[in-house]
Amino acid sequence: MVKTPIVKEGYVYIAVMALITIIVALAFGPYWSIIPGVLLAYVIFFFRNPERNVPDDETLVLAPADGKVISVCDIYEDQFLNEAATKVSIFLSIFDVHVNRSPIAGEIKFQQYTCGRFRPAYKESAGCENERHAIGLENKYMRVLVTQVAGILARRIVSWVTVGSILKPGERYGLIKFGSCTEVVVPKSVEILVKKGDRVKGGETIIGRLRQ
């Protein structure tokens, strides 16, 4: 969706930090502006929106976010798939890209936003207790549920899509601000190609492949 080098949701934060840096420099001198200047650089870094080399294969499931795989487990998914499935959870540190990408090509058939608590995103209970936003994608090969989960610092999940939106594989669809987790649930017909501890890149790393 959004292809600018910095996502627009970061503009206000960048403007505020730039203003603070300038005010501190004028009021107290350049030396004292180092700290807000570093924070300004971090905010720009956090809201970066890099391009990715997206694999062109509709039988693949791509990582929906940058980060570290913290869990691969079997579940019964009763919101959208309504069948036995596999859930892959990816933890995003404050240094990872926080733009989320569609794991498959497909139409959004399901969408649900849930208010909640703000537990650390790496906790197993975070996906059930924290603020979260789920979308269900469907194409001719499979149905996939992907959920943005807010972390202890995050206070807003951003979505640029709605039910009926058609997404390409790896297409940007949302953002979680300042620390989070993204979960993707796939049917058992998908072979999982990642394991706990692996590092993945949103829209680029292949986390699953449809079994032949």
* pLDDT, position 46: 93
141 Cβ partners below 8 Å, 6+ apart?
A: 58, 59, 104, 210
Query: Class assignment of domain 60-210?
Result: mainly beta
pLDDT band at 80 (very low <50, low <70, confident <90, very high): very high
* pLDDT, position 5: 92
* pLDDT, position 118: 53
Does residue 1 have a pLDDT over 80? no
* pLDDT, position 132: 87
**Two tokens at 60?**
């693949």
Rg (CA), the chain: 18
Residue with tokens 């970066």: 48
* pLDDT, position 126: 44
Residue 38 CB neighbours (<10 A): 12
List the one residue out of 94, 63, 87 whose CA is nearest residue 169: 63
The pTM score is 0.88
**For residues 38-46, average pLDDT:** 95
Residue 64 CB neighbours (<10 A): 30
**Amino acid of residue 172:** R
* pLDDT, position 192: 98
Query: Which residues does the annotation mark as catalytic?
Result: 180
* pLDDT, position 178: 72
- With a pLDDT cut of 70, the percent of the chain lying above it is 89
- With a pLDDT cut of 90, the percent of the chain lying above it is 79
Does residue 193 have a pLDDT over 50? yes
* pLDDT, position 121: 44
Residue 208's Cβ-count burial label (10 Å; 0-12, 13-18, 19+) is buried
* pLDDT, position 117: 56
Does residue 91 have a pLDDT over 80? yes
Give tens-digit pLDDT for 100-158: 999 999 999 999 998 865 554 444 544 445 688 999 999 999 999 999 998 665 557 88
**Amino acid of residue 66:** D
DSSP 78-129: TTTT-EEEEEEEEEE-TTS--EEE-SSSEEEEEEEEE--B---TTSTTHHHH
